[in-house]
Structure 1
Amino acid sequence: MKSLGSIRRSFAPWNDPEAKPYISFERVTKRFGDFTAVNDLSLDIYEREFFALLGASGCGKSTLLRMLAGFEEPTSGRILLEGQDLRGIPPYRRPVNMMFQSYALFPHMTVEANIAFGLKQDGMSKADIASRVAEMLKLVKLEQFAKRKPHQLSGGQRQRVALARSVAKRPKVLLLDEPLGALDKKLREETQFELMDLQQELGLTFVVVTHDQEEAMTMADRIAIMDKGQVMQVATPAEVYEAPSSRFVADFVGNVNMLEGTVAERSDNAATITGASGARIRVENAGEATEGSSVAFAIRPEKIKVSSKPPADGATNVMEGEIWDLAYLGDMTVYHVKLSDGQVVKASALNSARTMDDPLSWHDRAWISFAPDAGVVLTR
């Protein structure tokens, strides 16, 4: 089987102007009384894509999934699957299946009976059901647990039974609502990679709802960041992290330092940003920021270097401060450096050696520095 890494590197239909979306949300709005759960949202998802809807509770991501499944109808707008408008088509007639966080397994049925349930409802022959169930058990590596009941399985095994039941009917699209939420951290991490491999093997389109950033970043080809019923940015995990489109996205995904300031000078793409304390930040790419405008400079902690001595002459973007707090996390150390204007900047350093060459402790003077291309300028 082709390696997952090479598949994910080459898979990018959204960059192909000739590619047609597999699923389209066209100006979809969903209201519940006076509350607007989804607000004039448009979004395209491509065939065989592992797509994640990421956001805090109440942002509208589960409502979007339920509308695609057919459990809710849009108040306005259209949802298309392969060009077909899904309005009015009941859930059981849509070529999609949904896997819930609770798994919703039948407690009185065995593993194989749970997997076979939907196939029986569809009137499949006994021989075909037996063949399909055996195929699904092999796929999720549960052949030896076929005769067990759900209560005799671990959380991870129950999750795989629910997954096997969801894909047994061979839907075109599999919808997953917080699929790993009930698992412990270690098992959740292992299952993320199992889901990715399974999705590639089956060749299905997966749409997953999650509030777990790490989960979305690990599994998805692309992520839609949602807030208050709207999509704030749709991009690959790397683009969302390295090139957020707004303060909200930068702050929502991962750890970030947000340095507010004004564009003092602009030359071609480069610019100089002046902070409230007079600190000057040189950036290589100021994006759409204009001279005199107020902007935020967003920079991730791992892009910042911390030292006990001033950097060598010629270093750019150097600021002096005090170690206000620190945390040793084993693989890395996180420093909170308080600058002269009172802002606390977070920086992280990998502990690549057993002993530290430049040890820093609480209340030590420290200097932070970063390259002109280490962060991103945000205008909204």
Structure 2
Amino acid sequence: MKSLGSIRRQFSPWNDPQAKPYIRFENITKQFGEFIAVDNLSLSIFEREFFALLGASGCGKSTLLRMLAGFEVPTSGRILLDGQDLHGIPPYRRPVNMMFQSYALFPHMSVEKNIAFGLKQEGMPKAEIDKRVAEMLKLVKLERFATRKPHQLSGGQRQRVALARSLAKRPKVLLLDEPLGALDKKLREETQFELMDLQEELGLTFVVVTHDQEEAMTMADRIAIMDKGEVIQVATPTEIYETPNSRFVADFVGNINLFEGRITGHSDNVVHIATNGGGAQITVENAGAITGNDEVAFAIRPEKIRISSTRPQDAVNALEGEVFDIAYLGDMTVYYVKLDDGQIIRASILNAARVIDDPLTWGDRAWISFRPDAGVVLTR
């Protein structure tokens, strides 16, 4: 059986018709005056899932998280957690904990006292607190830093203290609002995998809010793409990337080339598209249920496109143009090819070898080509 892409783990309760959602947003709307932050949104999240809310600033993702935490109250609709309606339950009574981007550590307290703070507020016996704090320090690998103050730690270490404090009360759900935003790129990448390993080890449900596409694609089992208070698509990272359901999702996640055009023929799940402008013909396999003469967009990722100085003899889809720009990125080279109809296409070529057999440079005539199953047809 072929897979659409690589599989991180064998975990997909959303594909089981008998599986019950652990968190359920039902027709949630949140208004601030005249502004609608979340608009009649419904969404299901499953137990032990690492779920990401991804979108641009102002799309409603943080508002949704804050409503789940109890810091905001829905204008209408309801939120269920493990079958329980959360309406009227204050934040400190909910079996969730929230980790903020700022970490909000107490500067005058040591690492161990920061972690113990919430447990003391709950009146847990001292012996149990000490045991739980020791467990958390070991979990986040900060045993040697227990007596240090936050200002004596690096950004990554402060992030782990905040994580340990959030996990110390053993919540059913951990909410993370832009948790890695304060870290530098390399540390952020390392911490993503630490969070994934930690989530799987603890068996908790994680819900993370981020505007960083790579962060969501790396960590999450599924991603909800949000825009203007609505969910546009919910799917696995591979499905979001390879089979976006709209122009918005295709353009929002990763780099994409879009050919606007009209269906000129279809048969046996194969469609033919005449592109706007130059009228070039594109043949697409596995296009789904497309009716005749529809206005559509053909979306294809840059790495699915080949580039050469001559037309490949085996190419079903091939278009000619001129090399407009080149970006050498080390692991890959990105070519921008201006087609004869004026459209600029981006092609990413992996630098698997040090020597290039068919070198191209600025101003060269070039052919771009791609397989009939390399992209998707979008109707909206």
| Structure 1 residue 285, shift from structure 2 partner | 1.8
SS at the partner of 1:197? helix
Matched, 1:354 2:329: no
Runs of 4+ displaced beyond 3 Å: none
Q: State the aligned residue count.
A: 374
Contiguous gaps of at least 5 residues in structure 1:
1-5
Within 2, Cα distance between the matches of 1:326 and 1:311? 21
Within 1, Cα distance between the matches of 2:224 and 2:236? 9
* Partner in structure 2 of residue 235 of structure 1: 235
* Partner in structure 2 of residue 337 of structure 1: 337
SS at the partner of 2:9? helix
* Partner in structure 1 of residue 373 of structure 2: 373
1:72-95 Cα deviation digits (max 9, x unpaired): 010000100011110110000000
* Partner in structure 2 of residue 298 of structure 1: 299
Within 2, Cα distance between the matches of 1:9 and 1:124? 36
| Structure 1 residue 8, shift from structure 2 partner | 4.1
* Partner in structure 1 of residue 3 of structure 2: none
Within 2, Cα distance between the matches of 1:99 and 1:158? 12
Within 2, Cα distance between the matches of 1:75 and 1:108? 39
* Partner in structure 1 of residue 56 of structure 2: 56
Within 2, Cα distance between the matches of 1:99 and 1:378? 37
Contiguous gaps of at least 5 residues in structure 2:
1-5
Tell me, yes or no, if the aligned pair for 1:289 and 1:295 is still in contact at 8 Å: no
Within 1, Cα distance between the matches of 2:69 and 2:289? 39
Aligned partner letter, 2:281: R
1:149-205 Cα deviation digits (max 9, x unpaired): 000000000000000000000000000000000000000000000000000111100
* 19-28 vs 6-15, which moves further: 6-15
Within 2, Cα distance between the matches of 1:138 and 1:7? 29
Aligned partner letter, 1:89: I
* Partner in structure 1 of residue 71 of structure 2: 71
Matches within 5 A, 1:117-156: 117-156=117-156
| Structure 1 residue 289, shift from structure 2 partner | 2.2
Tell me, yes or no, if the aligned pair for 1:288 and 1:379 is still in contact at 8 Å: no
| Structure 1 residue 7, shift from structure 2 partner | 9.1
TM-score, length-scaled by structure 2 = 0.97
Within 1, Cα distance between the matches of 2:29 and 2:288? 32
Aligned partner letter, 1:294: E
RMSD of equivalent CA atoms: 0.9
Calculate percent identity across the aligned residue pairs: 79
Within 2, Cα distance between the matches of 1:291 and 1:304? 26
Matches within 5 A, 1:1-380: 8-276=8-276, 277-312=278-313, 314-380=314-380
Taking structure 1 as reference, are residues 7 and 106 closer, same or farther at Cα in structure 2, changes over 3 Å only?
A: farther
Within 2, Cα distance between the matches of 1:208 and 1:358? 44
Aligned partner letter, 2:292: E
